[in-house]
Structure 1
Amino acid sequence: MKRVVSLYLPNWPIDRLRRRLGDAAPPPERPMVLVGRDRRRRILTACSPAARALGLRPGMAATQAHALAPDLSTFDAEPGRDAEALERLALWALRRYAPICAADEPDGLAIDATGAAHLRSGEAGLLQDMETRLGAAGIQARAAIAPTYGAAWALARFASAPTMVAEGEVGAALAPLPLAALRLEPDLLDALGRMGFETVLDLERQPRAPLSLRFGPQPGRRLDQALGRMHEPITPVSEGEQPCAERVFAEPIGAPETLERYAALLVDDLCAQLERAGTGARRLDWLCHRVDNRIEAVRISLARPVRDRRRLTRLLRDRVESIAPGFGIERMTLAASITLPLNWRPGPSGLSDPDVPDVAALVDLLVNRVGAGRLYKLEPRESDVPERSVRRTEPLAASTLPAWAGDWPRPIRLFRTPEPVETLALLPDNPPAWFTWRGVRRRISRADGPERIYGEWGCRDAELWAVRDYFQVEDEAGERFWLFRAGDGEDARTGAQDWFIHGKFG
């Protein structure tokens, strides 16, 4: 199923200029506008949120804007630099999210995320990652995903919710939106508005022939593109310096075994380029251009730089079934979008180090089947609080911290959040005699503790006095648990004296 993302940047010219000015940029609360020329008139081309709050809008005369906001900060518009920066942003999205990305001037990106969302823990994680990363860089962004780019474009700019629409829900999601959501020209919008058309549903209900006769083909074409009746191609941006292999076919191909054969030939050509450069591929983008101007894309992520022909061919063959050839594929490209130097290390010999099993091939196979977010390695983290003392890293990432201290054992299974239990214990330092967890009462036969852990006041003010007393307990059936009491049993500021279970030893 086709899934296309529209990444909307409502304040792109302003945000780009702020990033370029750095500390010299006006404070966010001060109104800021960009001024350009419309023939002989000087007009506003972009307004900051503070300027919009004062009633300033793009297209307004600069003299009128200064009359409404005397302390207005004005800068010259730079549409050429804005477009160049948007192209660079599309390249960033290409490297991080999906193999098909394009700049949609003047304020957005088009991203074909078909088959790539699982690498970011699903569509919700993909959209959240885009908005969060751009927000951290000072760029306001809003993303939406739908089966067509027209629908995603409309949702990102005009819909409050939802931002994720399934294939059968496009019509209902677009129906209440204004006509501007169809990307129509301003003059055409004015003409339709004078005829009483206000929403997409109003336009959809009209017969197509009279509508085309009066207003031309654009309203019907934009409506069909948004609803998926007409295909809208996305011309992807590309990095010219990346290694790339290409095959053009005199006759379109589509059989799975033919796709596999040419995928192996592309891998051979690409590996030859990588070998000459002394690099290995960390990510592959396989693009199949169909005769109907659609592009079927497959992205392969690798745990380490790889130049092994058999291994890369196998990963591509595993994804052949995800390619819909339609009426045939006329061109096929395979690009290494991320490459790194390939450090060759000799194998074991009588005088070398012992052989260490290499699980990189298994990691690559699993990551491309279940998604990068679902495969990880746990690594120690500097924190005394148990739930903060571990973090997720890439499966083959090198550890940066030593192993956990062995003075106090930790349970094999640590719960995501502690669960409350009912228990009976003598204050302040005695272990519980029994506890009830998930409806089962367990009598404790052995216990060890307490191990006192203080709150980390640097993380939250509420942990300034917080205390936990942990006990390792064993019930009569031999099961071992990790319980703690919130508080030291004497001072109410340290906790409410409630008991919780935080893990199991086995």
Structure 2
Amino acid sequence: MRRVVSLYLPSWPTDRLRRSGSCAAPSDEPLATVAQDGARRGLAGVDAAARRLGLSPGMSAAHAQALVPGLHLVPADPEAEAQALARLGLWCQRYAPIVALDPPDGLVIDITGAAHLHGGEAPLLADLAARLERSGITARLALADTPGCAWGLARFGAGGIVPPGGAADALAALPVAGLRLGSEAVRALQDVGLTRIGQLADKPRAALRLRFGPEILFRLDRALGREPEPLTALAAPETPRVALRFAEPVGARESLEGVVADLCARLVPELERRGLGARRLDLVFARVDRLDQAIRIGTARPSRDARHLARLLAERLPLVDPGFGIEEAVLAASRVEPLAERQISHGATHLVAGPQAPDLAALVDTLLVRLGAARVYRLAPVESDLPERAVRRVPALAAPLGAVWPADLPRPARLLAPPEPVMAMAEIPDAPPLFFVWRNTRHQIARADGPERVLGEWWVADAEADLARDYYRVETEAGERFWLFRDAPMAANGRWWLHGLGEA
């Protein structure tokens, strides 16, 4: 099912000015852009501070200055705003291949088949919102099955995520302006008491068409997914890309696999000419009904291996709905890195300097495509006394950082986050327990080693100044190995916790 994000930028003209450094107005003082319309000067854009003071686009500049004497006014520049919006759209292609302009203050991102690369829909939206906020861009995001539904929720609702199939319920309470209708159509509906989309959806269609014309029903059907809504995707001119156009529409899986192989074979020479390797590929299928389908794959290292790239793309083909047929396919290397040529032989003799480490890039790429980037990683050591802080996730093929865990302080193969409480009993202070009960199961201890005293990091948090744990490595009579600790001496009624399983 199609999933689309509407990105609404209510303060885009003023946000652009502040980001470009061309406006000297302090960030906490109201700012607006002004445009000349004949003899009238009106506000074209306002920032959050001006909006809180009651200003809005369309208000006359004289009225606005009378209401807010300290208002900063800057001439509007629609052309520069459009160019900046296009650049922001190209940046948003980090999230999905299909990003379309929604001028003058928005973008539409078709994330169908791409959300898994960012941990899911909610993490994708959270990351996008956080990055925009850090960049000083005010934004409201909504995710739905259709561009129309997402547009209405972003501008007239609270934004957020609409579950698949929930467009009708999400739109019902929105004003009719949320259907992207003109002001005249909105006034005509309001004159007869139709102020909400839910009211409009319940009325007989024939009567609505007869009284208001076809436009209102057309917008409603697009918002509900009854009518297709194609998007015109942005494309950076410098991006390496190749395309295939077909005399007859294709749709069979075998045909698409052949198309993928052909496109990869055509793209690799272009990458070689530029000295680049692909880190991310976007494959967009243009359907005959203009509802494009896109898939995306990433690689752990720059690659120009056509067969390998084609295999990765083929893994994603089951997500493609060809509809009534595909008439064009475009493959773009949307993220590239320099990749130098490598000499592997001299004459007829292959030179081998010694044992070669296995190249895991192909395996990692396959796992990335199947599982998503969030699930493919390795653990690297971090300088910390507390076990839960002594590791961090890094990319699977990241270069070694130089740090290693101490060989004389073995750690379990798996840490529990957070540690789980257990009931345990020890005979004497500082002695390991005789047994412990975890998840209603009693474990009799046969061997133990410890204690290992771990103190809190007072330079990180004041609350850890008195933290002390005594860790024990234990083996049960059944041969299972655990990592237990007591959070205070026995005399202080310390509690027992299970922190790790197995042994590294």
TM-score (structure 1 length as normaliser): 0.91
Partner of 2:35: 36
Partner of 1:304: 301
Q: 1:163 to 1:317 in 2, by over 3 A?
A: closer
Partner of 2:14: 14
Q: 1:179 to 1:464 in 2, by over 3 A?
A: farther
Partner of 1:423: 424
- What does the per-residue CA deviation read over 1:46-86, in whole Å, with 9 as the maximum and x for residues that have no partner? 23323222222222222332333333333333322222111
Alpha-carbon deviation of 1:330? 1.4
- What does the per-residue CA deviation read over 1:228-286, in whole Å, with 9 as the maximum and x for residues that have no partner? 11111100000111221111222222222222222222222111212222222111111
- Check whether the contact 2:143–2:160 (CA below 8 A) recurs between aligned residues: no
- Check whether the contact 1:8–1:143 (CA below 8 A) recurs between aligned residues: yes
Partner of 2:106: 108
> How far, CA to CA, are the matches of 1:137 and 1:161 in structure 2?
20
Is 1:73 equivalent to 2:72 in the alignment? yes
SS at match of 1:368: helix
Partner of 1:477: 478
> How far, CA to CA, are the matches of 2:499 and 2:22 in structure 1?
46
- Check whether the contact 1:380–1:401 (CA below 8 A) recurs between aligned residues: no
- Check whether the contact 1:26–1:73 (CA below 8 A) recurs between aligned residues: no
Written as runs of structure 1 = structure 2, the 5 A alignment for 1:217-256 is: 217-256=214-253
Written as runs of structure 1 = structure 2, the 5 A alignment for 1:98-497 is: 98-160=96-158, 162-167=160-165, 169-347=166-344, 349=350, 351-425=352-426, 429-487=430-488, 497=494
Partner of 2:27: 27
Alpha-carbon deviation of 1:205? 1.8
- What does the per-residue CA deviation read over 1:193-247, in whole Å, with 9 as the maximum and x for residues that have no partner? 1221111011112223332333332211110110011111100000111221111
Partner of 2:58: 59
- What does the per-residue CA deviation read over 1:356-402, in whole Å, with 9 as the maximum and x for residues that have no partner? 22121121122112211111111122322211221112211112242
Pairs aligned (count): 499
> How far, CA to CA, are the matches of 2:193 and 2:380 in structure 1?
62
1:118 counterpart letter in structure 2: H
Alpha-carbon deviation of 1:11? 2.5
Q: 1:331 to 1:430 in 2, by over 3 A?
A: same
- Check whether the contact 1:445–1:476 (CA below 8 A) recurs between aligned residues: yes
Q: 1:350 to 1:33 in 2, by over 3 A?
A: closer
- Check whether the contact 1:8–1:157 (CA below 8 A) recurs between aligned residues: yes
- Check whether the contact 1:33–1:46 (CA below 8 A) recurs between aligned residues: yes
Of 182-191 and 67-76, the range deviating more from structure 2: 67-76
> How far, CA to CA, are the matches of 1:296 and 1:163 in structure 2?
21
Which 5+ residue runs of structure 1 have no aligned equivalent? none
- What does the per-residue CA deviation read over 1:435-486, in whole Å, with 9 as the maximum and x for residues that have no partner? 3211123344443333333333454443344333322233343433212233
SS at match of 2:70: coil
> How far, CA to CA, are the matches of 1:406 and 1:23 in structure 2?
57
TM-score (structure 2 length as normaliser): 0.92
- Check whether the contact 1:244–1:334 (CA below 8 A) recurs between aligned residues: yes
> How far, CA to CA, are the matches of 1:23 and 1:47 in structure 2?
13
2:158 counterpart letter in structure 1: S
Q: 1:43 to 1:253 in 2, by over 3 A?
A: same
1:50 counterpart letter in structure 2: A
Alpha-carbon deviation of 1:288? 1.3
Q: 1:132 to 1:359 in 2, by over 3 A?
A: same
Q: 1:327 to 1:143 in 2, by over 3 A?
A: same
- Check whether the contact 2:4–2:147 (CA below 8 A) recurs between aligned residues: yes
Of 139-148 and 230-239, the range deviating more from structure 2: 139-148
- What does the per-residue CA deviation read over 1:479-501, in whole Å, with 9 as the maximum and x for residues that have no partner? 332122334678x8xxx833221
> How far, CA to CA, are the matches of 1:470 and 1:220 in structure 2?
69
- What does the per-residue CA deviation read over 1:66-123, in whole Å, with 9 as the maximum and x for residues that have no partner? 33333333333332222211111110111x1111111211222111111111111111
1:477 counterpart letter in structure 2: A
Partner of 1:4: 4
SS at match of 1:318: helix
Partner of 1:48: 47
SS at match of 1:319: helix
Q: 1:61 to 1:457 in 2, by over 3 A?
A: farther
Q: 1:216 to 1:366 in 2, by over 3 A?
A: same
- What does the per-residue CA deviation read over 1:149-180, in whole Å, with 9 as the maximum and x for residues that have no partner? 1111122233336523212x211111111112
* Root-mean-square deviation over aligned CA pairs: 2.4
Which 5+ residue runs of structure 2 have no aligned equivalent? none
Alpha-carbon deviation of 1:419? 0.7
Q: 1:7 to 1:463 in 2, by over 3 A?
A: farther
- Check whether the contact 2:141–2:159 (CA below 8 A) recurs between aligned residues: no
Of 216-225 and 46-55, the range deviating more from structure 2: 46-55
SS at match of 1:343: coil
2:185 counterpart letter in structure 1: L
> How far, CA to CA, are the matches of 2:139 and 2:489 in structure 1?
47
Of 356-365 and 207-216, the range deviating more from structure 2: 207-216
Taking every aligned residue pair, what percent have the same amino acid on both sides? 52
Q: 1:102 to 1:427 in 2, by over 3 A?
A: farther
> How far, CA to CA, are the matches of 1:22 and 1:344 in structure 2?
44
> How far, CA to CA, are the matches of 1:504 and 1:354 in structure 2?
34
